[in-house]
Amino acid sequence: MRHRSGFLLFLAVLGLDQLTKWSALAWLDPVRPVEVTPFFNLVLVWNRGVSFGMFARAPEWGPWALVLLTLVIAAVLIVWLRRETRALSRAALWLVLAGAAGNLIDRLRFGAVVDFLDFHVQDYHWPAFIVADSAIVGGRALLLLDGIVLSRAAVQNAPEKG
């Protein structure tokens, strides 16, 4: 039962990611951003690299190397997920896997990831991102929270053996 709810979370995040990317591709103009608020735009950006556009200028085989790397990381996360006993860490791993799957689908379909959420302060723009990126970052943050803060608190509150 513990994996069923996690898999549903995975499907929900992946579905939301793909739906929002489909919407961005259908309605956004690649040349003209849509200003939503004074600090948020919708833009259509193709990210051929990884986080923050790193490695975007990789050779022609670069996207395939990223596909392979994603598959290896996903396999490691699945092994970790099967062994993980803490609920928060399991949910975090499902989030990271959903984000990775969303980006993997884009790389296989387009050779790049569709990004479209653009937050900015005046002329300083945070790199455009998407639901998949948010799931990966949020999942990693939850893993850190569970692994560092909550695990440490559990150890400190455990009754002494003796």
Per-residue pLDDT, 2: 65
Question: Residue 152: pLDDT band by 50, 70, 90 thresholds?
Answer: low
In this prediction the pTM is 0.84
Average pLDDT over residues 92-116: 95
Contact 113, 47 (CB under 8 A): yes
The SS3 call for residue 75 is: helix
Contacts of 67 (CB under 8 A, 6+ apart): 104, 107, 108
Residues 63-77 have pLDDT tens digits of 778 889 999 999 999
106 is catalytic: no
Residues 37-68 have pLDDT tens digits of 999 999 999 988 665 455 556 556 667 788 89
Per-residue pLDDT, 99: 96
Catalytic residue among 17, 115, 118, 146: 115
115 is catalytic: yes
What is the spatial order of strands in the sheet that 40-47 belongs to?
34-37, 40-47, 113-121, 124-125
Calculate what percentage of the chain has a pLDDT beyond 90.
Answer: 67
| Phi and psi angles of residue 53, each rounded to the nearest 5 degrees, phi first | 75, 10
Per-residue pLDDT, 61: 62
Catalytic residue among 17, 118, 133, 146: 133
Mean pLDDT of the chain: 87
- Helix ranges restricted to H, 28-130: 62-83, 87-110
Q: Any idea what DSSP says for residue 160? A: P
